Amino acid sequence: MTTHTAAAQASPNIAFIKYWGNANHALRIPVNGSISMNLDGLFTRTTVSFQPALALDELVINGHEVTGKGLERVSAILDIVRQAAGINLRAEVISENNFPTGAGIASSAAAFAALALAATQAAGLAWSERELSILARRGSGSACRSVPGGFVEWLPGSANEDSYAVSIAPPEHWDLVDCVAIVSAGHKRTGSTEGHALAPTSPLQAARVADAPRRLDICRRAILARDFDALAAVVEHDSDMMHAVMMTSQPALFYWQPATLTVMDAVRAWRSQGLPVFYTVDAGPNVHVLTLSAYTTEVTQRLRALPGVSDVLTAKAGGPARLM
Ligand code: DP6
């Protein structure tokens, strides 16, 4: 058999309604649905090449060879692809991000969405968006939301085949912009995978999950109606709820830094003065500040002037994972 190569790119996404906790940890079936926006202009580009000469899978990220857990996580996805395609070749996987690692933008979502598309294509499989979303989910839950374009909802499902993401509106539907306030943080944080496993140890998690369908409805409707105020209220509330669960799990997870609170406080004050802004925070200290495109310069300048903010990245709504 000859060499089979394909390349794909995918964007990270920011969750408006968060994924936190699994019903099935191994399969990454979440306890609640989630809604996100892909981030345009930021992407992971991944080339997968199945080669007869390789004895083991190889992984290179941003020019550095990755072994151990990182490689195992990629090989597990390649194993699913090999089995589906009926091939037995090992692969070389070369991946580059155009956004800084540790910038508070989860790279695993873009990485596994790009890997799912490149690996299936390289293996000669022409999978549907739904099948690709399911495969990406197996690598990183939030990656299933980086397969479709624009504004995306992950339908949680209850089994491997019915847990996947769909687009609810294309990128051009709404000119929202994510201004990511980078907060310098020296500490090593607990990764999402370990965090999801701790979620059920918080007594607040059951209440967060029970209320999720209501928040999802409000969020979906706010996006479809381009209702900024309704979206602002539900997204901040959902982020605060997830962090309440994190802070009350055992062991407790505190992702916020002092500067995280400084930014959250400023955003609330600016909104009360009439500026269209809201925040959401993932499993790290950086603050995603959403606004409308006309206010990007204003919001970016204000964020940069806050103590503890070292940089601001901006992204509008992005498209789906695609072949290169
Ligand atoms: C806080 O998808 O990164 O960003 O499946 O273990 O890779 P794994 O977890 P991951 O979790 C994302 C957590 C979050 C919220 C979200 O993006 O919905």
> How does pLDDT run across 146-180, given as a tens digit for each residue?
999 999 999 999 999 999 999 999 999 999 999 99
CA distance 134 to 190: 25
Pocket-testing residue among 13, 16, 19, ligand 1, by greatest number of atoms within 8 A of Cβ: 19
CA angle (201 as vertex; 197, 203 as ends), nearest 5 = 135
CA distance 137 to 140: 5
Tell me, in angstroms, the distance from the centre of ligand 1 to residue 310's CA.
24
Candidate from 77-86, 102-111, 212-221 with smallest mean pLDDT:
102-111
Q: Which residue has the tokens 């939301």?
A: 145
Extract the tokens encoding 114: 């790009």
3-state DSSP call for residue 86? coil
Instruction: Say if CB 287 and CB 248 are below 8 A apart.
Output: no
What are the φ and ψ backbone dihedral angles of 281, each rounded to 5 degrees?
-130, 130
What pLDDT, on the 0 to 100 scale, is given for residue 190? 83
CA angle (265 as vertex; 263, 266 as ends), nearest 5 = 65
Which residue's CA is the closest to the ligand 1 atom numbered 3? 192
Tell me, in angstroms, the distance from the centre of ligand 1 to residue 25's CA.
12
Q: pLDDT by residue (tens digit) across 284-299?
A: 999 999 999 999 999 9
Tell me, in angstroms, the distance from the centre of ligand 1 to residue 2's CA.
37
Q: Does residue 196's CB lie within 6 angstroms of at least one atom of ligand 1? A: yes
Q: Where are the beta strands (DSSP E) in 11-115?
A: 13-17, 22-24, 29-30, 34-38, 44-51, 58-61, 64-66, 90-97
Residue 22 CA, closest ligand 1 atom number: 5
Residue 100 has pLDDT above 80, yes or no: no
Query: Distance of alpha carbon 109 from its chain centroid, rounded?
Result: 4
Q: Does residue 141's CB lie within 6 angstroms of at least one atom of ligand 1? A: yes
User: Alpha helices of 94-253 — where are they, by DSSP H?
Assistant: 107-122, 129-139, 192-198, 205-210, 212-224, 228-247
Residue 86 — left, alpha, or beta (φ > 0 → left; ψ -120 to 50 → alpha)? left
What DSSP string describes 225-272? Answer: TT-HHHHHHHHHHHHHHHHHHHHTSSS------HHHHHHHHHHHHHHH
Residue 106 has pLDDT above 90, yes or no: no
Overall average pLDDT of the 241-261 stretch: 97
Q: pLDDT by residue (tens digit) across 70-84?
A: 999 999 999 999 999
| Residue 75: Cβ within 10 Å count | 18
CA distance 131 to 85: 14
Q: Does residue 15's CB lie within 6 angstroms of at least one atom of ligand 1? A: yes
What pLDDT, on the 0 to 100 scale, is given for residue 104? 64
What pLDDT, on the 0 to 100 scale, is given for residue 105? 73
Residue 2 has pLDDT above 70, yes or no: no
Instruction: Say if CB 50 and CB 81 are below 8 A apart.
Output: no
Tell me, in angstroms, the distance from the centre of ligand 1 to residue 274's CA.
32
Predicted structure pTM score: 0.97
Average of per-residue pLDDT values in the chain: 95
Closest C-alpha to 27, from 190, 196, 152: 196
Pocket-testing residue among 31, 36, 178, 192, ligand 1, by greatest number of atoms within 8 A of Cβ: 192
Tell me, in angstroms, the distance from the centre of ligand 1 to residue 196's CA.
8
Instruction: Say if CB 150 and CB 171 are below 8 A apart.
Output: yes
Residue 256 has pLDDT above 70, yes or no: yes
